[in-house]
């Protein structure tokens, strides 16, 4: 029996990478999982799709449904939670993983991309949280995990590191994730009396996913010490999706140190064994 038995989870950005891994790990612990992203079928350049994630969950006996939606579009994302509820029931666990990251100098950052960054990284998680909160409040429990980034940290200096945040220019991305973290802690305080945990989770540095390979693959190859196995953040997300909301909420957490705090080893995505380092 897993801690997620009988619960319904919604994971955004789950066609590949971190989102797909978290969906698989939650399902292996007993959750029925709804996965959403734009890519229902194969992407033209990146490996992975919602159908692949559903197949991976079902291959180990789990239950998953795919909902193709553009989370950056307010009207499109407004239908996600009602569709999950119709297919699986009320959402117990929300994992806001979908994100937009553009590595550009702030002086040259187009307004269109800036708006998209905040729409996807801040407004979408908040809208989805608002959509699931009534059900969570009615039941008296719930878990919201907002996937953030170490780029939310303020750069140290002067002098400043010329290779800020893995060699990329991440000011706008980091600002949007800092906003998400402030939403996380504020919402946690507001719903603490309702038995709902709201936490932020980020990898310490990089996770080798198809998207990361496309953006910072060369940096990860040159600095393998900063690369974290995807099983680490997936295990940390599961821990936050099964925690005691009375005592573990309003935290800005990093997956590796958080698992160390719990003295918990990451397991394979199917949950059957301890993952290799």
* Catalytic annotation, residues: 148, 173, 177
Mapped onto helix, strand or coil, the DSSP state of residue 224 is: helix
Mapped onto helix, strand or coil, the DSSP state of residue 130 is: helix
Whole-number Cα distances in Å, 251 to 33, 60, 106, 208? 24, 32, 29, 24
Q: 206 forms bridges with which residues in the sheet?
A: 227
Residue 119 DSSP code: I
- Owner of token pair 């100098």: 105
Output phi, psi for 268, to 5 deg: -60, 160
- Owner of token pair 């989770």: 201
Q: Which of 197, 208, 251 is nearest to 231 (CA)?
A: 208
Output phi, psi for 145, to 5 deg: -120, 115
Whole-number Cα distances in Å, 137 to 109, 130, 133? 40, 11, 6
Whole-number Cα distances in Å, 66 to 15, 54, 82, 223, 250? 9, 7, 13, 35, 29
For 138, residues 6+ apart whose C-beta sits below 8 A from its C-beta are 90
Q: Residues 148, 251: contact at Cβ < 8 Å?
A: no
């Amino acid at each position: 029996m897993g801690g997620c038995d009988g619960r319904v989870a919604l994971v955004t950005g789950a066609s590949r990478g971190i989102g797909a891994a978290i969906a698989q790990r939650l399902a292996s612990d007993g959750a029925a999982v709804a996965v959403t992203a734009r890519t229902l079928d194969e992407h033209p350049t990146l490996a992975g799709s919602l159908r692949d994630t559903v197949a991976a969950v079902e291959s180990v006996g789990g239950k998953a449904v795919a909902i193709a939606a553009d989370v950056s579009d307010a009207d499109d994302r407004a239908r996600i939670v009602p569709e999950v509820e119709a297919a699986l029931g009320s959402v117990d666990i929300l994992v806001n993983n979908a994100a937009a990251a553009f590595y550009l100098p702030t002086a040259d950052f187009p307004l269109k991309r800036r708006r998209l960054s905040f729409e996807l990284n801040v407004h979408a998680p908040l809208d989805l949280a608002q959509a699931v909160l009534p059900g969570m409040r009615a039941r008296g429990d719930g878990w919201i995990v907002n996937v953030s980034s170490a780029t939310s940290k303020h750069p140290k200096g002067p002098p400043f590191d010329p290779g800020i945040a893995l060699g990329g220019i991440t000011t706008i991305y980091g600002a949007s994730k800092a906003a998400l973290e402030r939403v996380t802690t504020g919402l946690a305080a507001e719903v603490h009396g309702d038995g709902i945990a709201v936490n932020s989770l980020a990898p310490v540095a990089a996770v080798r996913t198809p998207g990361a390979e496309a953006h910072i693959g060369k940096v990860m190859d040159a600095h393998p010490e900063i690369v974290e196995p995807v099983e680490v953040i997936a295990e940390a997300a599961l821990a936050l999706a099964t925690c005691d909301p009375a005592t573990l909420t309003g935290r800005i957490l990093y997956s590796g140190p958080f698992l160390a705090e719990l003295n918990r080893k990451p397991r394979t995505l199917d949950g059957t064994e301890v993952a290799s380092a």
